[in-house]
Chain A
Amino acid sequence: MRLPILTGAAVLGLAAFASGPAIAADALTVVSWGGAFTKSQLEAYHKPYTAKYGTKIQSEDYNGGLAEVRAQVETGKITWDVVDVEVSEGVRGCDEGLFEPIDTSSLLPAPDGTPAVDDFIPGSVIECAVATIVWSTVFAYDADVMTGAKPTTLKDFFDVKKFPGKRGLRKTPVVNMEWALIADGVARDDVYDVLSTKAGQDRAFKKLDSIKDHVLWWEAGAQPPQMLADGEVLMTSAYNGRIFNAQATENKNFNIVWDNQLFAFDYYAIVKGTKRKDEALRYLQFATATEQLAAQASWISYGPTRKSSAGMVGKHAISGVDMKPHMPTDPKNFKTALLNNSDFWADNQDELNERFNAWLAK
């Protein structure tokens, strides 16, 4: 089938005319989640990288998932070079041969000479991906709207009698299942054990049932602050950095409730088969260096994944706010934190997605 179409296209003179003005053919394409988060990468990684090596960085947004990467690898038309992924995608993409394995010894050592393997927080370097940030799912409300009693615990989020109004939640079982169990009284340390059983899953869905009619589901990280600002929801789950961004740069009186925050890493992975593999690796090494990770933390309130960067976290680049109290890893915020269990989700996500969708459709 290849021949007739290609000749057809050639006859129509398309190929010659319509290849379009490529933004920059030799640019490195880095794909991330958009909004304030991409902006932080732009300032902390892309700009200094271009300044140092001259290579332009093409920044592109997506909404997570492996669809595009898989399509590109399977068809051999690879346009993405580096992708920012969540842990389950990092593991799955590696298994499916969508990402290049990364040699940990090639990562830059800390300024004091500590090798990278020892400098990174455990869990932040996996076979095909290197984490750049610690981020967290929290819930937040607009203090200008919520003038009476304020929610302080996760239980309050699930209490529609005490706090009547719409809630925003991400349209995925991840985090929601854990939160439902904790709000239902399961101890934080037992959450994933309980969730591994059918009875535990039933229990989580039953708890979610109790607020289902009050939930608006969001999919993109930029949505929760927008929903709060528009008054569409009373409180919403959100990535902590997005809420910080609205507080710091848009003067929104949003409050974060850190109780039972679910934290996780976000990773950079290199798409298998990219023509710019060496460039991509050099970029990845650059971006995961101590200084760059610390620099990113001055643009958005996500913690760096290197121990050596932690001490260098300073003030917000735009508003001058001290960043430390806004980090998920700040001791005050971290008391009841729970680490997202990537092994559990790699195993169970397909099944729970199916059930979650069926539950949503009911």
Chain B
Amino acid sequence: MTVDAGTAPSGPILAADGTPLKVSLRKAQRVRKLRAFALVLPLLAFVLITFILPIVDMLFRSVDNPVVARNLPITLNVLKEWDGTGTPDETAYAAIAKELVEARENKEMGKVATRLNFETSGMRSLIGKSVRKIRRLKEGPYKEALIKIDKRWANTEIWSTIKRIGAPYTHVQYLAALDMKTQPDGSVGMQPEDRQIYGQIFMRTLWISLLVTGFCLLLAYPVSYLLATLPLRYSNLLMVMVLLPFWTSLLVRTTSWIVLLQRNGVVNDLLVWVGIVGEDGRIQMIYNQTGTLVAMTQILLPFMILPLYSVMKTISPSYMRAARSLGAKPATAFVRVYMPQTAAGVGAGCLLVFILSIGYYITPALVGGQSGTMISNFIAYHMKSSLNWSLAAALGTILLAAVLVLYWLYNKIVGIDNMKLG
């Protein structure tokens, strides 16, 4: 790409092959762009398919609601005409009687009943009981017969639930995730007091994450300062003590905390031996919020120390010396001159620790007891135990949204390029 300026003193500057330099440069630029992109593309495709798609699929599942729509199409069609007051007419009863029996034969009845029972409890037994009996009915009128089997069939609420849950796409899971529900009259309101749970769990998750972030900062700041100011041969040795936990299995560290903090654990034994507490006064430090806080702080501490250290490492001691020589007291110099320069590290560390702790699952599950569990534990609960997968997906989506906002913030303030490991 040598430019022979002598041959074309006027007009566009030409490259060696005769094309104008501008065009040639742009072309080279494009080739480089393409080449850079081609290098990134395999990983990008890999991440999109194996990671992003599953998450999008989960988002979709939080509003996808096929079970009732698939199994009761005729009933739902009839219910379209129903105005939502009193009870629907005979056609609806006849349709549901027929479709429930079919669903039972297809082994789908349990799914329908389960789905409806999540929304209005008692639906499972109502459907199970009714189907067993309608099978013996040869002909109508079904309305009378069903109400005779169980008088709940005359309730408006039963039918409005079926109509509502019959929608193939629904936001009910998001209502549930926010402790709200559709009232019998169709309006949206809060759940009764003794059913409200997720609002509180989300708040607790934020609170625990905030505390963990605060503790980490409190512990990491002095240590990072020490590491950054010590001569290298010492700081390298101490750095190993920061990095070893970082490299040690999460389960190993959580197990250690169980060993340390339990009632007859090492810490309590030590306290009794020293005489701080009596044999009967052993402190409950685990299977509650304290356990979660202690273990998570220790586990996430390296994520705070490393960014702080790398920022402090770049701060020249001459600023402090200058401040001192200008008459500032050590404390003043530290607060007014040193600390502001570490702001970037503090921001990076805090955001990273907060993002990581907000989604914690393993540690709270093992040492958190009931007061130390977080939203991830409830997502796992609905995935594994209650089988309310759409609710799990809705809770997950809300958590994901929170994390993505923080991630965006992190990218804005710190820049992902500056993320460092080890």
A and B touch in the complex (CB under 8 A): yes
Residue B330, interface by CB 8 Å: no
Query: With A232-B263, A347-B124 in contact, is A358–B387 under 8 Å at CB?
Result: no
Q: Are A357 and B197 in contact (CB under 8 A)?
A: yes
For B255, the chain A residues whose CB sits under 8 A away are none
Query: With A231-B263, A346-B124, A347-B122 in contact, is A67–B384 under 8 Å at CB?
Result: yes
Query: With A230-B262, A232-B263 in contact, is A361–B124 under 8 Å at CB?
Result: no
Main secondary structure of the interface of B (DSSP, over half): helix
Residue A353, interface by CB 8 Å: yes
Q: Which residue from B53, B110, B369, B386 sits with its C-beta under 8 Å from A353?
A: B386
Query: With A95-B113, A347-B122 in contact, is A216–B196 under 8 Å at CB?
Result: no
Number of B residues with CB within 8 Å of any CB on chain A: 41
Q: Are B263 and A351 in contact (CB under 8 A)?
A: no
Q: Mark A282-295, 1 if CB is under 8 A from B, else 0.
A: 00000000000000
Min CB gap B138→A, angstroms? 24
Q: Are B287 and A216 in contact (CB under 8 A)?
A: yes
Q: Are B111 and A4 in contact (CB under 8 A)?
A: no
Q: Are B369 and A217 in contact (CB under 8 A)?
A: yes
For A1, the chain B residues whose CB sits under 8 A away are 49, 53
How far is A196 from B387 in the complex, measured between Cα atoms in Å? 24
**Contacts across chains A and B counted by CB atoms under 8 Å:** 90
Q: Are A67 and B107 in contact (CB under 8 A)?
A: no
Q: Which residue from B125, B201, B264, B284 sits with its C-beta under 8 Å from A361?
A: B201
Q: Are A95 and B49 in contact (CB under 8 A)?
A: no
For A319, the chain B residues whose CB sits under 8 A away are none
Q: Are A95 and B369 in contact (CB under 8 A)?
A: no
Min CB gap B289→A, angstroms? 12
Number of A residues with CB within 8 Å of any CB on chain B: 37
Q: Mark B368-401, 1 if CB is under 8 A from A, else 0.
A: 0110010000100101111100000000000000
Residue B99, interface by CB 8 Å: no
Residue A166, interface by CB 8 Å: yes
Q: Are B118 and A350 in contact (CB under 8 A)?
A: yes
Query: With A348-B121, A361-B201 in contact, is A66–B110 under 8 Å at CB?
Result: no
Q: Are B49 and A5 in contact (CB under 8 A)?
A: yes
Residue B128, interface by CB 8 Å: yes
Q: Are B110 and A95 in contact (CB under 8 A)?
A: yes
A–B complex contacts, Cβ < 8 Å, 26 sampled: A1-B49, A65-B387, A67-B383, A67-B384, A95-B110, A95-B128, A96-B111, A97-B106, A97-B110, A166-B263, A216-B287, A216-B369, A231-B263, A346-B124, A346-B128, A347-B125, A350-B386, A351-B122, A355-B194, A355-B195, A357-B197, A357-B378, A360-B370, A361-B200, A361-B370, A362-B200
